[in-house]
Structure 1
Amino acid sequence: MKFAIRIVLGLSLICVAPAFAAATAPAAQSGVSSPAHLKAVQDLLGAMQIEKVLKGVAARSRYPAESQKQAVLAKLDKIPPAEIYQRLAPALTRAISVDTAIEMQRFYSTPYGKQVIYKKYNSGAQLIMPGMTPAVPPEEKKERKRAAYVRASKELAEAEPAIEHEAFKLLQLINKEKR
């Protein structure tokens, strides 16, 4: 009896496996992205001012001499931000969905979103005493309630390591280029 059950179970798995593989095949094609997806990610990178992330990566990287670091930062200053967005977007389409790119680009284009970006790159260290919670502005409270924003911000937060990694790889390429 146990033997018969194993045979039936094995045959059912054999029959279901090709159907399951066919259903997941389109999702596995992460190397191909639509032009709309690419454009949405480029727009998001522009709204996020991702060129500043690249400069931060360059500033944190170790160089044998300070002059080399300054040379890399000078190269970055010569590259237009739009070129950085174009070069980073293809690799980041795997980590950032179209919906997330559109929603977060919308958010970062709002006055409050622009303020968030400004604070991200221009604020100093902030101290929070134990037991204190940071004050949440009403604009952020409103955004935190939107389901699309919640999903998109979570996905973007999960994509941060990929963004940093791709920024580092692009920085290495720019460092090797002769400009």
Structure 2
Amino acid sequence: MRLMTTLGLAALIAASPVTFAAAPTSAPAPAAGVITVGHVNAVSDLLKAMQAEKMMRSITGSSRYATDAQRNTAYAKLEKVPPAQIYARLAYPLARTISAETATEMARFYASDYGKKVVYQMYNSGPSMREQRAPVATAAERKDMQRAAFIKASKALAEAQSAIRHEGFLLLQAIAK
């Protein structure tokens, strides 16, 4: 009987998750609350303003393929997917990471004249990533970027960049199949 009790306790300990370690701090905190249709639409608008279809092309280019033919096939399959479908397929998974406020504020920023220059710079930086320079902002644009809402949203989006690229890679894998 004692052996059975010991084996039972050992099985329970082995099956239970060990939570003594601290939670990882590098992962972005999920957005609080329930994901609503408005939240998903805000994230979709952000992806549209960021031109996520170009991000998908950069993910395809940086992915490791055995041959150039496989890479070209992935590009061809990606070209067949309309940008609206890319936004729709990325919006819900990213709504868990990006808050509605962040999505709304950053979509507003990327829709501005200066934001469009920043988006152009993101995808057309030239051969060297080290030489990226931010476009020159006017005094009004600099003042707008000093607002607390923008600063908070910009930091939150920067923290979510790895999640955005990860979800983009997962979408690329789904498209390539």
Shorter-chain TM-score bucket reads 0.7 to 0.9
1:74 aligned partner, one-letter code:
A
CA distance in 1, matches of 2:171, 2:150: 28
- Which residue of structure 2 lines up, in the alignment, with residue 51 of structure 1? 53
> What stretches of structure 1 of length at least 5 have no aligned partner?
1-26
- Which residue of structure 1 lines up, in the alignment, with residue 76 of structure 2? 74
Assess if the C-alpha contact under 8 Å between 1:31 and 1:94 holds in 2: no
1:137 equivalent in alignment to 2:137: yes
Shift of 1:60: 0.8
Q: 1:54 to 1:29 in 2, by over 3 A?
A: closer
TM-score (norm 2): 0.75
Q: 1:42 to 1:127 in 2, by over 3 A?
A: closer
Q: Of 119, 125, 129, which aligns to 1:123? A: 125
**Root mean square deviation of aligned Cα:** 2.4
> What stretches of structure 2 of length at least 5 have no aligned partner?
1-28
CA distance in 2, matches of 1:29, 1:120: 25
What per-residue deviation string (whole Å, max 9, x for no partner) do you get for residues 42-78 of structure 1?
Answer: 0000000011111111111111111010000011111
Segments ≥4 residues shifted beyond 6 Å: 27-31
DSSP-derived class of the 1:95 partner: coil
CA distance in 2, matches of 1:34, 1:163: 19
Higher CA-based Rg? 1
Question: Whose helix proportion is higher, 1 or 2?
Answer: 1
- Which residue of structure 1 lines up, in the alignment, with residue 63 of structure 2? 61
- Which residue of structure 2 lines up, in the alignment, with residue 157 of structure 1? 158
TM-score (norm 1): 0.74
